[in-house]
Structures are given as C-alpha cells and as structure tokens.
C-alpha cells in the first residue's frame, strides 16, 4: 500500500476532503474554488487525504490537481472517469497518490488491468462500488481500498442505509471508504461504527462558507449525546443545539422512561437505552446496561450497532458517586462514551481529562424527570463542542 492507503488506515475515522466546483446532482457549488488554497486548508484542518475532481463535468481540470500538489503534501486522490493506462500516467505526472476506478463503468478485465497498471505507476486505487454486486466484484478483484458510494449515479438519489449495510459487509483487512450523503458528525459516526476507515465528503464541504472549518467540525470528537428524552420539543432543542446522539430510555422502571423512540432529525442518530438486553426499536444504536439487583440499572453499558459491540459506556453507579470515575474512563480501551454526572459546568473538564469518543448527559439537564431544561441542554452542548 502507498501513502494514500496508509493515511486512511490511521487510527480513528479519516476524512477524504474533496475539491469540486460543481456537481451534476447539486449544480454549482463553488465556481471560484482555488484548489491550492483549499487543499492547504483541508490539510491543516485534519484531512487524511484530498480528492480533486479533474473532470470538466465537475468543473475540474488536471491543473487543479497540479495546483493542489504544489500547495500541500497531503495524499491526493485524482477523481475522474478513468479507463486507460494513459489516464493513470497523467494522474501520476500531475501529482496524484491514488486514482478512482468506477466499477460501474469498467468490466472486470479492464478493472484488473488498471489495478496492475496503477501498481506499476506507484499509485494506490480507490475502487468504487454502488451496490452489492459491485462490492462483490471489488472483493473478487482483491482491491485493497474499497469505496461504497451512497449515491445512485443514474438518479442521484442517496441511500445511506444500504451504504452502511455494504460497509459492514466488507472484510476488515480492506480499507473501506463511505462516500456521499454525509452532512453531519453523526453521519460520519454511523459510517465509522459500520466499519468504515474513512469518509469521503465533497458537496457538504464545498457548500459551506468555510470548507476547512466544516471539515474540522466533521472530524472533531467527542460526539455529544443528550439522553433521557421523552418529548418531541426536547428532541428538537437538543438537535438544534448541535447534539449528535439522542437517547431514549426504554426501561420501564426508569424515572425518565420513554414509551418508544421518537423521530429524530436526519443529521442525528437515535440511541435506544435498555437494561439487560436490547429489544426492538427504530433506533440506529442500542445502549445496553448491565443488571444490578436493587438498582434501576447497572453501572456500565455497551453500545451496539446491529448486534455488534462498537463502544463502551463508562458510567457512575446508579445515584452514587465515584471519585476515580474519570480516571477509570481514561484507562478504558477502545471507543469510550463517558456518562455520569456531566453537565454544562464540568463537561469541558471531563473531556480534557478523559478524551472520550462521546459524552452523555441526562438527569443534569432536566427540570423534572424526563423533562429537559432547554437552557441547560444548549449550555451543555455548547460547552462540550467548544
């Protein structure tokens, strides 16, 4: 693997930040985009790699790739409709570290030949699939880096659910990229938890007033969870404030139990909270607490996606304190969701001490059990995302 693939294998969720002036589905995005300036800004904002559209249908040229190469040392993906060895040679000479190969437009023999040509040129490849059949083709071709595009290039419709299912199917020995349809940190987190090593984001960044600032927002951690939601108005306030994860306690014995998972905005993820074992719900994620006799719930929990454990929730004992709580959380391996006693007053300090993947608050944000104090919800999210 070359440095493009190696950059995407780094720990945590990487982002391939894209430079494109227009999109066939969205029209003009940023006609005056300066690829040199944007590539440099993307690198400073934390991009693992930068994708540069070189096709005129997207307002791109090979000079855009050359300008990005001159301005930054970040790995570059040349993105276009490539079908010949000459295309790959041009990409290499223009400064690319990797090239896109679209299985939709290539038969297996051509794709196999291009994979070999790319290797000879010292280029990595991003082999892109749009459906299960194409993913299977990419696996059979032994492509080391696979992209799963949520956008149907014929209709331009986005199907994120199918994308995540395909990402989850890909073997863990491949580098897997979730492409298109990602507009929020929660969307990126969903791809990460499904098994993606990185996400490719283009239109969302190019539409933003400051593309690099939007990129920094997408890659920032921790995620912010507001839990114990029982009312639609509280869901709306938490989402508007910028919460990424919205939690609904489906344990009837809890003082803030909800009867079901309420609808959440598309830019967020719903989390169903259970004790003992997960049941059926409309949530994307399940948080399952251990059982402790005489208590509403046990101390800690596991976060699941589709039955697969994806994070550890490190909490306080029910209605008790523990002075070593943050230290214990900081020493926990893997993705950590820090919960227990967090609120606007201390969440920033907790984040600095623990460096969790997500933070979770519930009772400290209430006026009464299950009823949120909107001012405290906003203050908590603001403090956590500062």
98, exposed or middle or buried, with CB in 10 Å at 0-12, 13-18, 19+? buried
Active-site choice (23, 51, 72, 79):
79
Active-site choice (23, 180, 184, 254):
180
Q: Which residues make Cβ contacts (< 8 Å) with residue 14, sequence separation at least 6?
A: 7, 8, 48, 49, 197, 198, 199
β-bridge pairing 22-23 and 27-28 = antiparallel
Query: Is residue 117 flagged as an active site residue?
Result: no
Query: Is residue 346 flagged as an active site residue?
Result: no
Query: Is residue 128 flagged as an active site residue?
Result: yes
Listing DSSP states for 237-248 in one string gives HHHHHT-SEEEE
The counts of H helices and E strands in the chain are 14, 20
Contact 39, 74 (CB under 8 A): yes
Query: Is residue 79 flagged as an active site residue?
Result: yes
Q: Is the preceding omega at residue 222 within 30 degrees of 0, hence cis? A: yes
d(CA 125, CA 103): 12
Query: Is residue 184 flagged as an active site residue?
Result: no
Active-site choice (23, 51, 128, 192):
128
Measured CA angle at 303 (ends 299, 307), to 5 deg: 125
Contact 269, 258 (CB under 8 A): no
Q: For residue 88, which of 101, 71, 104 has the smallest C-alpha distance?
A: 101
Active-site choice (20, 214, 225, 372):
20
d(CA 174, CA 152): 23
Active-site choice (23, 51, 117, 179):
179
Can you list the pairs that 56-64 forms with residues at least 24 positions away whose Cβ atoms lie under 8 Å? 57/22, 57/24, 58/20, 58/21, 58/22, 58/23, 58/24, 59/20, 59/21, 59/22, 59/31, 59/33, 60/19, 60/20, 60/21, 62/90, 62/94, 64/19, 64/35
Query: Is residue 18 flagged as an active site residue?
Result: yes
Instruction: Report the Cα 293 to chain-centroid distance in Å.
Output: 37
What is the phi/psi pair of residue 302, to 5°? -120, 140
Query: Is residue 179 flagged as an active site residue?
Result: yes
Q: Which residues are catalytic?
A: 18, 20, 79, 128, 149, 179-180
């Amino acid at each position: 693997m070359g440095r493009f693939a190696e950059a995407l294998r780094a720990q945590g969720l990487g982002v391939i930040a894209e430079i494109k002036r227009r999109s066939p589905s969205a029209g003009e995005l940023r006609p005056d985009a300066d690829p040199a300036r944007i590539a440099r800004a993307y690198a400073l904002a934390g991009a693992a790699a930068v994708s540069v559209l070189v096709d005129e249908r997207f307002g791109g040229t090979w000079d855009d790739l050359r300008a990005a190469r001159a301005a930054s040392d970040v790995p570059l993906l040349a993105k276009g409709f490539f079908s010949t060895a000459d295309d790959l040679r041009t990409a290499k000479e223009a400064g690319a570290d990797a090239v896109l190969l679209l299985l939709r437009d290539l038969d297996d023999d051509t794709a196999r030949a291009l994979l070999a040509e790319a290797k000879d040129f010292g280029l990595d490849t991003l082999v892109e699939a749009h459906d299960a059949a194409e993913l299977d083709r990419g696996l059979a071709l032994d492509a080391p880096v696979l992209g799963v595009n949520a956008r149907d290039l014929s209709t331009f419709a986005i199907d994120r659910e199918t994308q995540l299912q395909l990402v989850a199917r890909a073997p863990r020995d491949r580098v897997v990229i979730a492409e298109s349809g990602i507009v929020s940190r929660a969307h990126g987190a969903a791809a990460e938890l499904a098994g993606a090593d990185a996400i490719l984001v283009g239109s969302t960044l190019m539409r933003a007033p400051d593309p690099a600032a939007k990129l920094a927002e997408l890659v920032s951690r921790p995620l912010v969870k507001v839990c114990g939601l029982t009312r639609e108005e509280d869901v709306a306030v938490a989402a508007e404030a910028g919460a990424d994860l919205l939690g609904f306690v489906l344990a009837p014995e809890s003082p803030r139990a909800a009867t079901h998972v309420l609808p959440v905005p598309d830019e967020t993820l719903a989390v169903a909270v259970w004790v003992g074992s997960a049941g059926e719900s409309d949530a994307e994620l399940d948080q399952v607490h251990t059982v402790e006799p005489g208590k509403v719930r046990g101390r800690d929990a596991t976060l699941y996606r589709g039955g697969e454990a994806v994070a550890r929730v490190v909490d306080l004992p029910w209605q008790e304190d523990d002075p070593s709580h943050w230290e214990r959380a900081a020493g926990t391996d893997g993705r950590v969701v820090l919960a227990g006693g967090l609120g606007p007053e201390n969440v920033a300090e907790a984040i600095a001490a623990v460096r969790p993947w997500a933070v979770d608050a519930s009772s400290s944000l209430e006026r009464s059990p299950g009823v949120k104090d909107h001012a405290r919800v906003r203050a908590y999210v603001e403090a956590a995302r500062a």
